[in-house]
Each structure stands twice: as structure tokens, then as C-alpha cells.
């Protein structure tokens, strides 16, 4: 596998193209002049050649295949040691055309001290370190995570050779697995869970302390078992080690998982509960009621959760969950959980009822009671409109130490209210409220992208984080038009777009600079612009839904997305992909000049009068103004003749005869053209930022009317730096403005208007700088005017209370 470079813009598609077998060398070579073709087609040059597996339209080809991997797992959570011990049976279906001699599995939570992510971690030079950073350094000296006690056998129990390579596990098969064949391996292991708020990561535990709690914990388990790596048509084995940034792509399969936990724990997990009798009769009744409820119903009430916290059970219970056609399995377990649920109806869906459910401790109330499950329901509605109905029977949001992570049917989300340690006052911030709603939308939204449309974030972060952030933006705007979200609104990305520390979106995930703006904000904003400004909602929505439909439960690449959006919309977008995804250019379009022109009528009475009026607008020469002498022609009339009484604007007899002769020669169409009275306006635009975009031009006329014209991006096809565009109208123009609605992420609005406007600004007044360090004053000493000997500062006696 080839890792994409950060700065080589011409090379950012090498990895994908090489995997597809496409030649990279461009057949087009510009050797004359400075012309740069921003509209050069990506197909055939930069994009991989279509195959029988992925066709030229961006859809799965007639020979498309992907592997299937099924899991049966029995696991036990030891609360005292905070360790999972488990045994899994992996059934691997080889649907590829290839014979496989070994299997690669992922050990993404292999937190060993010599783990590549640990060894490759960098810090800012000098300066400071956070308290959490110190705690982590201390913890990693005394604690080591990762998969332990690994044992691998075949279906009959015979040991199989295996090799651990950092976060990867290779299992050598006893015999090659032929195309169409099936093999089974069994793996035993133990996994100590990290304390998430200390060690970090996407799973782990959080324990609560007195006075509000007595050591009860929340356990979040993700990447907790060896999972089969992807084997694909375009890369073979996806066996690049996990180093903490680029997340996961996996194979779809069926899961049957039994989880043994303390008897007073409540579990939320991927899939459906296969042994509902584990719940009390009252809880089962509430769950049935929740299916048709209009508001969330408590399945485990706050009172029941509080009672469970007061004692720790010494016995265990086993919860069993089954899930079909999912690409991962995660769970959460705690005695602290309040559990609420509400049924969500879907139209035209294979599963018309989805159970939206939330699990949270008392520390998350009342924020979670009010918003979590309703945010799930809202996500199901909006994402269903944009993509396809939610594909699974349950959608869950769990509060714990992980700020936001997604897995099939279950998400981990972090925001909580704040309780003052001294007063006990319970409040929550505006940021916590909208942060909770936003993160639930985002993480549940990931169940569409990439949990169902199964892209590879390890290679292309934007394909799930960016697409999902775009849909999150749309969902938040439907929740509240004033929802405070920076990801998606074009005006909010300007600062990032002009920054120097950035790389193109097509850069490999592990090499991204400014991960959040690159992986989330820029692609989300680009898709908003594509929908609202370039394609329009009708074309965009049809094409986007077609992409989602085509690649539902399949594995797309960027090229499948690009091709589908073009093929389904009928619009060539290569210029947009090239600029927004393959470069670090930004939008800055200046309106440099506006010329108001009219047709030359060739009528001397009209043209010379017009020229004379123009001359009157010119300033009088400064010398003429300052000369005080009376000119000769004014002092001596004898010096004046015909030329003093006429000027170059005088209409002569010859002028009139020539015009009369012209009128006789003109055809009716020519005469009508010369009599056309409309104004011809020439607008000179300059592309300063380099990113070609449509030019949205608002025109204000002297009669009070306005007009907005959308000039397509193709206006830049012959010159991507400077163009002059013409507009003809009978109305007289008063002013013009580029991008009046701030919809293209234009980086410099001061050059958008004509005539230029005065820019308002506020100057902040700085405090005077503090004086130099005064060690004498800091030591509470002073001197007298007569001596440099120091003495303690004399303090004024305190006034006594009159009472």
C-alpha cells in the first residue's frame, strides 16, 4: 500500500489509482504559455480505470464482491479487575476470486507500551504539559493494555500459527482458503480495559467517587475483540496498523454475542436482545409501551438505577444479543444506567419501527432525559430523507467517558450537566445542550455512513466524517434554524481555507494536518455549496440518494462517489472535485472593475454630445485654476476666430451628410441594432484564491430593483485568473456585489463590492504593559527616601467596627 504524501498535490491519488491498475502518467503536457486547465477531466488521468467490480458510472459492477465474516462470542466482564475475557468463533466466507493462505485481523486496542502509536507520538517543544498528560504518563508506567493470553485454533481445536504485528494479527491457515470457500477459527483472549479519561482511546471505563457515588463504573467496550480486516478488490488486505487517527473499515457479517456481567448491570449493545426474560416483567411492559409512545418512556427508571448503585451484586447474569449484517459489535455495561426508549415510525422501510433508546447515569440528567432519545428520532427522520431508511431495529445513545463514537446500532456520547462541588448547584451550558444534540445526531448518523455505506476512513477520512458532518448540518438546521454549528456553513470555514497548515482532502488519514477542519468541516461545507449553489437541491438530492442506495451495505471509494454524483446529476463536476478535494486552493473572487457601455449610434448629434458631456466631468487642469492672469484670447478679441467659437464636439455639415448616407445604406436589422438603447455592462473578475467557483452577482439598479445572476464556474475555463463578463440591461446600474449571501466561502469580502464600501471595524484598546518584575515588592519589603536598606512594609491598622 502506498501512503499519500502531504504536499504533493499531483500525487494524492497514486494509492487509489495504483490499486486499480490505472496509469498515472498524464498524456497531456502543457509546454507553452502559463495556461492552467482547471476543468481538465479527472477520468482517464487521475481516477482509476473502471472494472467489472466498479463500473464507470460509479456503481458496483456486475462482478462486485465482498467478504462476509460471522462471529459467535462469549465474553465475561470482571468488574474488579476491569478486564474482559472472551472466546470467539470466526467464520470467514471467501467471496473473492482469490485463494487466501492467511487471514489478517485487527487488534486496534492493542495498548502496548511499544505500540506504534505510543512510539510515534509527538509533543510541542518545551512549554507545558496538561495534568491529564502527566496522569497518562504515570499510568502507562504501571499499566499496560492490549490483547493478552491469545490462543488460536481451527474448528477442530488444532492450534494455528499466528503472528502479532503491532495492531494486527495474522493467522496462517492450515490449507489455502479457495474462492467460494469457508473457514472457521477460534480465538481466546483477555483484554484489560483502559481508564478512558486518563489513557484515552475510544472505549474503556469511568468510575464515580464519593460523595455522590461509591465507586460504581460505566464500561464502554469497542474494538474489544479481534476483528477480520478488510480484503477488497482494490487493495487486497487492508492491513495498515492503527496509530490513533484513521478509524476502521470492516466486513459485514452476523453476530451472536453472550455477555456475562454483574447481575445488577444493565447492558446496551449492538443488535437485539435475544433473551428479553432477563428484564423484569415491569421493564418488559414498559418496553412494549415505548414502541408506540409519543415521548420517551423509562425502561429502567431513575429510582431503579439509583437503588442499584447502592449495592454491588456478587452474582452475574448473561445477556445475549444477535445482529445481522453488521460490520462491528460494541456494548456498554453499568448498574448506573437509566434507560429510556421510544418507537420511531419509518415510511417505505423494511423495518417500519425503530426503537430509539438512551442509557445514562444520574450525572447526565436532566439533559439526557430531555434530548438524547429525541435527537435519535430526529436523526432517523432526516437521514432517511437524504439517504435511505434506517436499516436496523434499534438505535442507541450511551453516556460515558467517550465524547463521541459510533458502532452499528449503538453510539457513545459525552456531554453532561455540571454540578458545583461546593454548592451542589446543577446547571448545564448552552454548549453542553447543543453539544449533546449535535453529537447524538453525528454519531447516530454514522450508522448510515460508514456503518452501512461502508467506506474506509483509514484512507479517506472525509468519506464518512465529511459526508456525515454534511448531513449533521442539515439535521441541525431542521432542529433549529439558529443551531450553533460551525461545520457546514460556508462563511465559517474561511479562516481554515486560507491557513497554511493544511493538505488536500484526498490525503491519507494518518497524514492529515488540522484533522477536524480537514476531515469534517471542509468536506461538509463543500457538499453544502454543491447542494445549494452549484447543482441545486433537486439534482443534488437525487444524485446523493442514488449514491447511498447503490453503496448501501457495500464498500465505495471516492471515485465511486465522484462518478455517481456526476452520472446521476448530469453535471460535469471535475473542476469542483479537483479544486475542493485535490487542492488547498481557496475562494477569493474580486470584482475589480465595472464598465458601463452603450452602442455607438454613429449619429454625430448623439455621439458628439455624449463625448462633450463626458469631457465636462473631467477636472479643470490645476495650472488653469492657479493662473491669475487674464488670458490673451479674453483680453484681445482680435485673436479669436472660428476655432475659438467651435470645438471638437461641434457637428459639421460633413458629419450630417455622412450620417444621412449611412442611413440609406443600412439594412433594417442594422438600423435596429444601432438604435438599441440597452446598457452593456462589463464586469472584470479576478480569481485571487485559485479555486474556481460560480460567480453569484447581485445587481442593484437606480430604479430600486435588484437582480441576482448566477454565472456558472465554466466562466473560468479559458482563463482561471482573470475574466470579463458582459450583462445587457435597459436599467441603469447603481452597485454590484459578488456572493451577496456568503454562500461560496469567499475569503475576502472587502473586494466583492463595486463601488467599494468602507469596511467597519472595532479597535480594541490594549491595557498598558505591566512593569518589570519587582522582587522587593513581591517580598513585601520597602525602602525609605533616605536609605536603600529594606524593611517590612508597614501595614495600615485595620479599622474597628463601630458596633
Whether 145 shows a pLDDT value over 60: the answer reads: yes
Helix H or strand E segment including 515: helix 515-516
Residue 144 has pLDDT above 90, yes or no: no
The closest alpha carbon to 712, from 696, 691, 694, belongs to: 694
**pLDDT recorded at residue 769:** 87
pLDDT at position 14, please? 37
Q: What pLDDT is recorded for position 802?
A: 58
| 321 contact partners, CB below 8 Å, separation of at least 6 | 255, 256, 257, 259, 267, 269, 270, 271, 272, 273, 274, 329, 331
Would the pLDDT of 12 be above 80? no
Q: Could you tell me where the DSSP H helices lie in 359-429? A: 367-386
pLDDT tens digits, 417-454: 998 888 889 999 999 999 999 999 999 999 999 999 99
Element (H, E) at 710: strand 706-711
Least Cα distance to 563 among 31, 76, 176, 42 occurs for: 42
Question: What does the pLDDT read at residue 222?
Answer: 97
Judge whether residue 30 has pLDDT over 90. Answer: no
Residue 45 banded pLDDT, cuts 50, 70, 90 = confident
Sequence-distant (6+) residues with CB within 8 A of 353 are 291, 343, 344, 345, 346, 393
What is the Cα–Cα distance from 581 to 462, expressed in whole angstroms?
A: 9
Structure confidence by residue, pLDDT tens digits, 565-605: 999 999 999 999 999 999 999 999 999 999 999 999 999 99
- pLDDT tens string 487-498: 999 999 999 999
pLDDT, tens only, 662-704 = 999 999 999 999 999 999 999 999 999 999 999 999 999 999 9
pTM for this model (two decimals): 0.91
Q: pLDDT class for 113, splitting at 50, 70, 90?
A: confident
pLDDT of residue 23 exceeding 60, the answer is no
pLDDT of res. 22: 43
Residue bearing the bigger pLDDT, 12 or 463? 463
Report the alpha-carbon distance of residue 616 to residue 623 in Å, rounded: 17
According to the model, what pLDDT value does residue 16 have? Answer: 40
Could you give the percent of the chain with pLDDT greater than 90?
82
Residue 803 in this model has a pLDDT that exceeds 60: no
On the question of pLDDT at 148 being above 50, the answer is yes
Residues 330-346: pLDDT tens digits? 999 999 999 999 999 99
pLDDT for residue 27: 65
The tens digit of pLDDT for each residue in 613-634 reads 999 999 999 999 999 999 999 9
Which pLDDT score, from 0 to 100, does residue 44 have? 81
* pLDDT over threshold 60, residue 9: no
Q: Count the neighbouring beta carbons within 10 Å of the beta carbon of residue 369.
A: 17
Q: Could you give the percent of the chain with pLDDT greater than 70?
A: 96
Q: CA 48 to CA 558: how far, in whole Å?
A: 10
Q: What spatial distance separates the first Cα and last Cα of the chain, rounded to whole Å?
A: 85
pLDDT score of 582: 96
Strands (E), 472-576: none
Q: Which has the closest alpha carbon to 612: 580, 651, 641, 582?
A: 651
Segment 232-250, tens digit of pLDDT: 999 999 999 988 888 889 9
pLDDT at 647 over 80: yes
Q: What is the mean pLDDT of residues 392-416?
A: 97
Lowest mean pLDDT of 251-260, 601-610, 727-736, name the range.
Answer: 601-610
Rounded to 5 degrees, what are φ and ψ at 525?
A: -65, -40
pLDDT at 21 over 60: no
Please name every residue paired with 410 in a beta bridge, in sequence order, or none if there are none: 396, 407
Could you give the C-alpha distances from 237 to 28, 230, 231, 553, in angstroms and in order? 34, 6, 4, 19
What's the pLDDT band for 18 if we cut at 50, 70, 90?
very low
* 197-201: average pLDDT: 87
Q: How far apart are CA 546 and CA 568, in angstroms?
A: 7
Highest mean pLDDT among 136-150, 186-200, 782-796: 186-200
- Identify which of 108-112, 422-426, 513-517 has the greatest average pLDDT: 513-517
- Mean per-residue pLDDT of the chain: 93
Asked if residue 798 has pLDDT above 80, the reply is no
Q: What is the pLDDT of residue 800?
A: 61
DSSP code, position 324: E
Residue 799 has pLDDT above 70, yes or no: no
My answer on whether omega of the bond before 458 falls inside 30° of 0, hence cis, is: no
CB 397 within 8 A of CB 373: yes
3-state helix, strand, coil in the chain (%, to 5): 30, 25, 45
Residue 708: the pLDDT is 98
Residues contacting 147, CB < 8 A, separation 6+: 107, 109, 110, 164, 169, 189, 190, 191, 226
Amino acid at each position: 500500500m502506498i501512503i499519500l504524501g502531504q504536499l504533493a498535490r499531483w500525487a494524492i491519488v497514486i494509492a487509489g489509482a495504483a490499486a486499480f491498475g490505472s496509469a498515472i502518467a498524464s498524456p497531456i503536457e502543457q509546454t507553452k504559455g502559463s495556461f492552467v486547465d482547471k476543468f481538465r477531466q479527472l477520468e482517464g488521468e487521475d481516477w482509476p480505470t473502471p472494472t467489472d467490480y466498479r463500473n464507470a458510472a460509479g456503481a458496483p459492477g456486475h462482478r462486485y464482491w465482498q467478504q462476509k465474516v460471522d462471529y459467535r462470542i462469549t465474553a465475561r466482564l470482571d468488574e474488579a479487575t476491569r478486564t474482559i475475557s472472551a472466546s470467539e468463533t470466526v467464520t470467514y466466507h471467501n467471496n473473492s476470486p482469490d485463494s487466501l493462505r492467511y487471514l489478517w485481523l485487527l487488534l486496534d486496542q492493542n495498548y502496548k507500551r511499544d505500540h506504534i502509536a505510543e512510539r510515534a507520538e509527538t509533543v510541542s517543544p518545551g512549554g507545558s504539559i496538561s495534568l491529564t498528560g502527566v496522569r497518562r504518563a504515570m499510568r502507562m508506567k504501571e499499566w499496560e493494555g492490549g490483547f493478552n493470553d491469545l490462543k488460536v485454533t481451527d474448528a477442530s481445536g488444532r492450534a494455528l500459527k499466528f503472528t502479532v504485528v503491532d495492531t494486527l494479527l495474522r493467522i496462517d491457515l492450515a490449507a489455502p482458503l479457495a474462492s467460494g470457500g469457508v473457514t472457521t477459527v477460534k480465538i481466546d483472549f483477555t483484554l484489560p480495559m483502559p481508564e478512558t479519561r486518563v489513557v484515552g482511546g475510544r472505549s474503556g471505563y469511568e468510575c464515580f467517587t464519593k460523595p455522590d457515588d461509591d465507586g460504581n463504573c460505566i464500561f464502554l467496550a469497542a474494538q474489544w475483540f479481534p476483528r477480520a480486516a478488510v480484503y477488497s478488490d482494490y487493495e487486497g488486505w487492508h492491513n495498515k496498523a492503527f496509530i490513533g487517527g484513521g478509524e476502521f473499515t470492516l466486513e459485514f457479517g452476523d453476530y451472536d454475542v453472550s455477555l456475562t456481567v454483574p447481575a445488577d448491570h444493565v447492558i446496551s449493545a449492538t443488535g437485539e436482545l435475544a433473551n428479553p426474560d432477563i428484564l423484569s416483567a415491569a421493564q418488559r411492559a414498559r418496553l412494549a409501551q415505548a414502541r408506540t409512545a409519543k415521548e420517551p418512556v423509562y425502561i429502567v427508571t431513575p429510582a431503579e438505577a439509583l437503588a442499584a448503585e447502592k449495592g454491588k451484586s456478587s452474582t452475574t447474569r448473561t445477556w445475549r444479543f444477535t445482529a445481522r449484517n453488521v460490520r462491528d459489535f460494541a456494548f456498554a455495561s453499568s448498574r448506573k444506567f437509566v434507560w429510556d426508549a421510544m418507537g420511531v415510525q419509518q415510511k417505505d422501510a423494511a423495518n417500519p419501527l425503530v426503537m430509539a433508546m438512551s442509557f445514562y447515569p444520574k450525572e447526565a440528567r436532566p439533559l439526557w432525559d430531555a434530548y438524547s432519545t429525541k435527537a435519535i428520532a430526529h436523526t432517523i427522520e432526516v437521514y432517511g430523507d437524504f439517504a435511505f431508511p434506517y436499516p436496523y431495529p434499534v438505535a442507541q445513545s450511551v453516556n460515558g467517558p467517550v465524547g463521541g463514537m459510533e458502532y452499528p446500532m449503538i453510539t457513545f456520547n459525552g456531554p453532561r450537566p455540571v454540578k458545583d462541588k461546593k454548592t451542589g448547584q446543577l446547571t448545564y451550558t448552552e454548549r453542553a445542550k447543543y453539544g449533546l444534540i449535535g453529537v447524538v445526531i453525528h454519531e447516530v448518523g454514522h450508522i448510515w455512513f460508514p456503518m452501512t455505506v461502508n467506506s474506509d476512513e483509514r484512507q479517506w477520512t472525509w468519506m464518512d466524517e465529511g459526508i456525515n458532518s454534511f448531513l449533521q448540518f442539515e439535521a441541525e438546521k431542521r432542529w433549529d434554524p439558529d443551531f450553533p454549528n460551525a461545520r457546514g456553513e460556508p462563511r465559517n470555514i474561511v479562516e481554515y481555507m486560507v491557513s497554511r497548515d493544511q493538505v488536500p482532502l484526498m490525503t491519507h488519514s494518518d497524514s492529515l494536518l488540522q484533522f477536524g477542519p480537514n476531515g469534517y468541516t471542509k468536506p461538509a461545507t463543500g457538499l453544502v455549496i454543491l447542494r445549494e449553489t452549484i447543482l441545486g437541491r433537486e439534482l443534488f438530492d437525487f444524485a446523493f440518494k442514488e449514491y447511498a442506495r447503490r453503496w448501501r451495505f457495500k464498500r465505495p471509494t471516492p471515485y465511486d462517489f465522484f462518478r455517481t454524483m456526476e452520472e446521476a446529476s448530469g453535471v460535469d463536476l471535475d473542476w469542483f472535485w479537483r479544486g475542493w478535494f485535490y487542492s488547498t486552493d481557496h475562494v477569493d473572487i474580486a470584482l475589480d472593475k465595472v464598465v458601463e457601455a452603450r452602442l455607438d449610434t454613429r449619429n454625430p448629434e448623439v455621439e458628439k454630445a455624449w463625448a462633450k458631456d463626458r469631457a465636462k466631468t473631467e477636472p479643470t487642469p490645476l495650472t488653469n485654476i492657479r493662473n491669475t492672469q487674464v488670458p490673451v484670447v479674453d483680453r484681445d478679441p482680435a485673436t479669436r476666430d472660428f476655432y475659438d467659437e467651435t470645438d471638437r464636439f461641434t457637428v459639421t455639415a460633413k458629419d450630417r451628410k455622412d450620417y444621412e448616407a449611412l442611413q440609406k445604406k443600412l439594412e433594417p436589422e442594422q438600423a435596429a441594432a444601432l438604435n438599441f438603447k440597452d446598457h452593456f455592462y462589463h464586469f472584470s473578475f479576478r480569481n485571487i484564491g485559485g479555486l474556481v467557483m460560480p460567480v453569484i452577482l447581485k445587481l442593484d439598479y437606480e430604479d430600486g430593483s435588484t437582480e441576482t445572476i448566477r454565472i456558472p464556474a465554466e466562466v473560468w475555463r479559458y482563463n482561471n485568473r482573470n475574466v470579463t463578463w458582459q450583462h445587457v440591461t435597459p436599467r441603469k446600474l447603481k452597485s454590484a456585489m459578488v456572493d451577496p449571501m456568503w454562500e461560496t466561502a469567499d475569503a475576502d469580502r472587502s473586494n466583492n463590492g463595486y463601488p467599494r464600501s468602507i469596511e467597519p471595524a472595532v479597535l480594541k484598546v490594549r491595557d498598558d504593559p505591566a512593569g518589570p518584575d519587582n522582587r522587593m515588592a513581591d517580598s513585601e519589603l520597602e525602602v525609605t527616601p533616605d536609605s536603600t536598606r529594606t524593611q517590612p512594609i508597614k501595614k495600615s491598622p485595620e479599622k474597628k467596627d463601630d458596633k
